[in-house]
Amino acid sequence: MEEFIINGGNRLYGSVKLQGAKNSILPILAACAATGSVSLLHNCPKLSDVEAAINILRHIGCKVERRGHTVIVDSSNASGYEIPDGLMREMRSSIIFLGALLSRFGKARVTAPGGCEIGLRPIDLHLSALRSMGVNIAETGGMLECVCNASLHGGHITLNFPSVGATENIMLAAMSAKGETVIVNAAREPEIVDLADYLNKCGVTVTGAGQSIIRIEPSGRFFATEHRIIPDRIVASTLMSGVACAGGRICIKEVEKEHLAPIIPIYEAAGCKISFSEREMTVESFGRPRRVRHLRTMPYPGFPTDSQALFMAVVSKASGTSVISENIFENRFRHVPELNKMGADIRVENCCVAVVEGVRNLHGANVTACDLRGGSALAVAAMGAEGQTVLENIYHIDRGCESFETVFESLGADIRRVQRAGE
């Protein structure tokens, strides 16, 4: 097992290019399986979750080649509609392949995902939407046996919560369904818009992505497609939190300003100075962060749940008390006891509210990453702490941040990846 050794106290200076978005490439890779054509995808981050998705594509018979940050998927000979449990478990969001397999083969056999680090993660919205599109789903012994007796058909689906994964699964199933599909109360995240852009290039007509009502109209044909994955707004907030915790001034290249609109005012309120020049964002922070009275995570365009832990690391050192409400996932404060080991003063009330009493300094400690963003939050907190932090279970971070230590080292952080002592 690998871990990070982080010696805090170095300010961050320099510039970095932002990686492609994990949450965009995963559903787009699933969509590739449904086209039966060739897709050339640029700006694909090198992440363990992306490798897991590629393993699924290969398992069902796709040819996949990676050339640096470009991935080429040829799904013309794909024939497998079953994903074994081992592959499903490699990646939390593998359920996204369900819609794609149904679209391509009219049937699918996958294991039902269990809960995960950040919550129960039910898929009831995915399944009820697919049922309404003509899919028979039998849930037996942890397996989902799905088959369309007649053809998959479009429908008018109203989600009772704008679930990102359910919106994507419906869009994927709708790619080859008979007739138009309308999703009401769809998720509005930028990654949904990216999936829609990819589908439009493939020959599907998708309108309304980024708004609450999305319409998907298949054409019955799929074209070979070239597409560039959008930049990762959550990794942008990881870098912003790094500067806010450690101090300094960095330039993040290839950002999409509009995608960052929900988080910029919050980081500014905490004392960061942020400016843009075309697709470059400069973030500067000197001195102690300021408290933020009450931050609530919400579906886009609200403050993202994926940035909650990262921002908590910042205000843990603020002057004053901040309150953070987590409204999306029920188990997303697992970084709190670890931050407290570093000297933070945070208490969780009623599961979903954290009261953060800012402390002047954090100190190094032996801490454990419990999930991807919580782990990244501990790493950036360590960069702004006094002394040495040993951060275990960094495989969580590798799921979503490409070359985490290389990126921060290039900005001046003292961070090393090492094999755990005694292994």
119 touches ligand UD1 by CB under 6 A: yes
317 binds ligand UD1 (CB under 6 A): no
Quote the CA–CA distance of 360 and 371 in Å, as a whole number. 26
Instruction: Give 153's strand partners.
Output: 178
Nearer to ligand UD1, 191 or 402 (CB): 191
Q: Which of 46, 109, 121, 178 is the binder for ligand UD1 (CB under 6 A)?
A: 121
Work out how close the CB of 401 gets to ligand UD1 at its nearest, in angstroms, rounded to a whole number: 13
β-bridge mates for residue 144, sequence order: 110, 139
Question: Residue 169 in contact with residue 214, Cβ under 8 Å?
Answer: no
323 near ligand UD1, judged by CB under 6 A: no
Task: Tell me: does residue 328 bind ligand UD1 (CB under 6 A).
Answer: yes
Separation of alpha carbons 142 and 139, rounded Å: 7
Indicate whether 401 belongs to the interface with ligand UD1 (CB under 6 A).
Answer: no
Near ligand UD1 by CB under 6 A: residue from 124, 139, 258, 349: 124
Query: Which residue of 26, 157, 206, 378 would you call a contact of ligand UD1, by CB under 6 A?
Result: 26
Does 164 contact ligand UD1 by CB under 6 A?
A: yes
**Could you say whether residue 93 binds ligand UD1 (CB under 6 A)?**
yes
Closest CA to 93 of 299, 372, 303: 372
Comparing CB distances to ligand UD1, the nearer of 52 and 413 is 52
Least separation, in Å, of the C-beta of 154 and ligand UD1? 20
- Number of helices (H), then strands (E), in the chain: 14, 23
Q: What distance separates the 2 farthest-apart alpha carbons in the chain?
A: 64
Contact between residue 345 and residue 317 where contact means Cβ atoms under 8 Å apart: no
| Token pair 């749940």: residue | 305
Establish if 65 lies at the interface with ligand UD1 (CB under 6 A): no
Options 75-83, 122-130, 148-156, 176-184: segment touching ligand UD1 (CB under 6 A): 122-130
Q: What is the DSSP letter of 400?
A: T
- In sequence order, the 6+-apart residues with CB closer than 8 A to the CB of 323 are 293, 294, 295, 353, 354, 355, 356
Active-site pick, 116, 146, 202, 370: 116
Q: Which of 194, 232, 306, 405 binds ligand UD1 (CB under 6 A)?
A: 306
Residue with Cβ nearer ligand UD1 (206 or 413): 206
d(CA 256, CA 164) in angstroms, rounded, equals 20
Structure tokens at 41: 């995808």
Q: How many residues bind ligand UD1 (CB under 6 A)?
A: 23
How distant, in Å, are the alpha carbons of 27, 70, 220, 315, 318 from that of 323?
33, 41, 50, 9, 12
Q: For residue 299, say if its preceding peptide bond is cis, omega within 30 degrees of 0.
A: no
Q: Which is nearer to ligand UD1, 291 or 373 (CB)?
A: 373
126 binds ligand UD1 per the rule CB under 6 A? yes
Choose between 159 and 246: whose C-beta lies nearer to ligand UD1.
159
Among this protein's residues, is 116 annotated catalytic? yes
Please report whether residue 405 would count as binding ligand UD1 according to CB under 6 A: no
Closest C-alpha among 235, 100, 85 to residue 165: 100
Work out whether 198 is an interface residue with ligand UD1 (CB under 6 A). Answer: no
Q: 399: how many CB neighbours lie within 10 A of its CB?
A: 20
Rule CB under 6 A: say whether 329 interacts with ligand UD1: yes
Spatial distance between the Cα atoms of 380 and 38, rounded to a whole number of angstroms: 39
Which residue, 308, 316, 311, is CA-closest to 333? 308
- Shortest CB 300 distance to ligand UD1, Å: 7
Residue nearest to ligand UD1 (CB): 165
Rounded to a whole number of angstroms, the minimum distance from the CB of residue 249 to ligand UD1 is: 29
Q: Per CB under 6 A, does 296 bind ligand UD1?
A: no
Which of 53-61, 246-254, 275-283, 304-312 is the region at the interface with ligand UD1 (rule: CB under 6 A)? 304-312
Q: Which is nearer to ligand UD1, 305 or 376 (CB)?
A: 305
Q: How many CA atoms lie within 13 A of 273 on its CB side?
A: 8
As a residue count, the chain comes to 423
Asked if 115 interacts with ligand UD1 (CB under 6 A), we say: no
End-to-end CA, the chain:
8
Binding segment for ligand UD1 (CB under 6 A), chosen from 143-151, 159-167, 217-225, 275-283, is: 159-167
Q: Which residue is listed with tokens 């109209």? A: 217
Residue 216 C-beta: closest distance to ligand UD1, Å: 18
**Residue 166 CB, nearest distance to ligand UD1 (Å)?**
5
Tell me which residues touch ligand UD1 (CB under 6 A).
23, 26, 93, 119-126, 161, 163-166, 187, 191, 304-306, 328-329
Catalytic residue set: 116
